[in-house]
Structure 1
Amino acid sequence: MSEEAIDWTDFQKVELRVGTIIEVQDFPEARKPAYKLRIDFGDEFGIKHSSAQITDLYAKEDLLGKQVLAVVNFPPKQIGPFMSECLVTGVHREDGTVVLVSPEMAVPNGTRLA
Structure 2
Amino acid sequence: MLNILSNSKDAIIETNPDYKKIAVTARPVKDKVTIIVEDTGGGIDEEILPKVFDPYFSTKTEGLGIGIGLFMSKTILEKHMNGDIKLENIPGGLRTIITMDLFNSSDL
State the TM-score, normalizing by the size of structure 2.
0.31
Question: Hey, which of these two has a bigger chunk of strand by percent?
Answer: 1
State the TM-score, normalizing by the size of structure 1.
0.30
Question: Hey, which of these two has a bigger chunk of helix by percent?
Answer: 2
